[in-house]
Amino acid sequence: MASRLRTISLALVTLAAAGVPVLATVPAYAAPAGDLVATDVSFSSSDGTVLHGTVVAPAGEHPPRPGMVLVHGGGPGPREWLRQEAEAFARTGIVTLIYDKRTDGYSLVDRSYARLADDALAAVRLLRTREGIDPVRVGLWGLSEGGWVAPLAAAASDEVAFVITVGASGVPPARQEAWGKANRLREAGASGSMARVYPATIVRLMTGAGWFPEADYDPVLVLRRLHQSVLAIWGERDTVSPPAESMAIFADALGRAGNPSYTLRVLRDGDHAGYLATEGGFAVHNWITPAGRFAPGYVDLIGSWVQALADAPPAPRADPPPAQETTTSPMPPLPWYESPAAQLAALGIMVAGFAGYPLTGFIRRLAGRRQTPPAARPARWLVAAGLTAVPGWLGYTGVLLLSNETAIGPIVLGRTVPWLVLQALSAGTVATAVATAVAWWRTHRRTGAALRLAPPLTAAVVFLPWALYWGLLMP
């Protein structure tokens, strides 16, 4: 079941990246058990986007209750994917509102946290008007990306009474994503240059190309503006957002802001989404939250904390931080030689140079000049290795990105088989380039041969630093 959900989620994310609506592929919210009542609602964000949601409340008549809007994590967000959370929190006495995340203006390459925060505020305003809700006790719960969006919405409006974050990152999105990618590779058994070089390099390149929206968003600036009570929760075994670093950042930012009421908690054996990490309940990234068991105490913690706000906001409190095996690294801007333009130029030179040798040979044969040039044999091997390594790298990198590092293949000697093949091809490209140059030198450096060998040798000169940069020539 989990693998099927993961496959569906990857397909939905790919569609979202192309701007294709995805909500129609997800089952509608089903009626909850008899102890709860679900009511469908609609509301409009300030840009006129109409959003559809469901209010989940305890059945029967009760005194006015607190309310809570649930804000999705990254990727597409049909309300059904937060159904388990909505119903669990409702059973603690909190009326919850879940809604379908916008698809207009939200994809892998186009998103605005300010726009998402505005959607969340529109949901808060709706919930505050519902019968049976105490309007001064309506807050926000945000998962992962929602851990950036919910505080941003709260900092912009006094209508938000409290903020709860789960798996929120205290570091900017690009820095967090590189750390998470490295963790996913290590969890799969990868090591060496693949796990060390690829994650940060690809994230920096995506950021430089404009393919990583909100990459440099700074959550600290928003946390320092929060005056509402804050409950921030991290799973002890979160490998998507850095839990120990994030806890320290939250504590420092909220403390410097003079926030009088914040609680920082750690869930034993919890994952990024508050589920038991031992069950693999969270599908690698925050695209979906499949059904599974919540970490012990998670639901009760949220229920009791929200209910206690009616008496008095709790004083600042923080659990000891969890162990974090590795730390995140800053994502400095790309210098010109690492820029997307430089990468494209390098790829163009390499492909054109390696392909130039057989192309000129074909033209010579058409012209009736069939003389075999010096260094022909090593040059052919050079072309074969280079023209396999470069497109192979492009293809495998694309697979890794589209699968979010879940389709990495079997591991051999700490490397995936495709990565090992790419490393062997890269070593072969360098070795045959040297052999080609030596063979040409030993044959009296003939001018005609130099003209034919110039393109592949030029490509090889570019290939060497490029392959080192991507870790293809490193252990």
Residue 347 and residue 225 in one domain: no
Question: Are the CB atoms for 231 and 360 separated by under 8 Å?
Answer: no
- Which two three-digit tokens encode residue 450? 């130099």
64 phi-psi bin (left φ>0, alpha ψ -120 to 50, beta other)? beta
Q: Which of 250, 284, 318 is the last residue of a domain?
A: 318
Banded pLDDT at 279 (limits 50, 70, 90): low
Average pLDDT over residues 50-79: 94
Residue 178 in any domain: the answer is no
Residue 128 and residue 238 in one domain: yes
Top-confidence residue, 430 or 194: 430
286, 292, 297, 301: CA torsion to nearest 10: 50
The boundaries of the domain holding residue 268 are 2-172+217-318
The number of angstroms, rounded, from the C-alpha of 205 to the middle of its chain's C-alpha atoms is 14
- Residue-wise pLDDT tens digits, 220-230: 999 999 999 99
Helix (H) or strand (E) holding 356: helix 340-366
In sequence order, what are the residues at sequence separation of 6 or more whose Cβ sits closer than 8 angstroms to the Cβ of residue 105?
49, 111, 112, 115
CA dist 235 and 76 (Å) reads 23
CA dist 60 and 51 (Å) reads 27
pLDDT at 37 over 60: yes
Mean pLDDT computed over every residue of the chain:
87
Residue 344 and residue 381 in one domain: yes
Number of structural domains the chain divides into: 2
Residue 211 in any domain: the answer is no
pLDDT at 351 over 60: yes
Q: Which of 264, 291, 318 is the last residue of a domain?
A: 318
pLDDT at 177 over 80: yes
Per-residue pLDDT at 1: 33
Top-confidence residue, 469 or 450: 469
Per-residue pLDDT at 21: 34
Residue 300 and residue 390 in one domain: no
CATH of the domain at 258: 3.40.50.1820
Per-residue pLDDT at 185: 92
pLDDT at 25 over 80: no
Residue 347 and residue 431 in one domain: yes
Query: For a pLDDT cut of 70, what percent of the chain falls above it?
Result: 86
Average pLDDT over residues 178-189: 92
- Residue-wise pLDDT tens digits, 365-403: 665 565 556 667 888 999 999 999 999 999 999 999 888
Average pLDDT over residues 238-261: 97
Residue 135 and residue 247 in one domain: yes
Top-confidence residue, 288 or 345: 345
Per-residue pLDDT at 247: 98
Average pLDDT over residues 346-361: 88
CA dist 435 and 408 (Å) reads 33
Question: Are the CB atoms for 308 and 314 separated by under 8 Å?
Answer: yes
Residue 230 and residue 346 in one domain: no
Banded pLDDT at 19 (limits 50, 70, 90): very low
Residue 209 in any domain: the answer is no
Per-residue pLDDT at 286: 38
Per-residue pLDDT at 199: 95
Per-residue pLDDT at 13: 38
In sequence order, what are the residues at sequence separation of 6 or more whose Cβ sits closer than 8 angstroms to the Cβ of residue 109?
17, 210, 211, 212, 213
Residue 148 in any domain: the answer is yes
Residue 421 and residue 464 in one domain: yes
Per-residue pLDDT at 415: 86
Output the DSSP codes for 228-258. Answer: SEEEEEEETT-SSS-HHHHHHHHHHHHHHTT
- Which two three-digit tokens encode residue 306? 């929200």
Residue 272 and residue 360 in one domain: no
Residue 309 and residue 380 in one domain: no
Residue 276 and residue 345 in one domain: no
- Which two three-digit tokens encode residue 267? 């869930």
Query: For a pLDDT cut of 90, what percent of the chain falls above it?
Result: 70
Average pLDDT over residues 18-23: 34
CA distances to 282, 379, 406 from 357, rounded to whole Å, are: 50, 8, 37
- Which two three-digit tokens encode residue 393? 């790298």
Banded pLDDT at 249 (limits 50, 70, 90): very high
In sequence order, what are the residues at sequence separation of 6 or more whose Cβ sits closer than 8 angstroms to the Cβ of residue 242?
169, 170, 171, 176, 179, 324, 327, 328
Residue (of 454, 237, 450) closest to 324 by Cα position:
237
Top-confidence residue, 33 or 299: 299
Per-residue pLDDT at 283: 39
pLDDT at 452 over 90: no
Q: Which of 272, 290, 318 is the last residue of a domain?
A: 318
Query: Strand 262-267 relative to strand 317-318: parallel, antiparallel, unpaired?
Result: parallel
Strands of 238-323 (E only): list them: 262-267, 317-318
Residue 233 in any domain: the answer is yes
Residue 276 and residue 408 in one domain: no
Average pLDDT over residues 68-83: 94
Q: Coil, helix or strand for 399?
A: helix
**Edge-to-edge strands of the sheet including 50-58?**
36-44, 50-58, 95-99, 65-71, 133-143, 162-166, 229-235, 262-267, 317-318
Question: Are the CB atoms for 321 and 266 separated by under 8 Å?
Answer: yes
26 phi-psi bin (left φ>0, alpha ψ -120 to 50, beta other)? beta
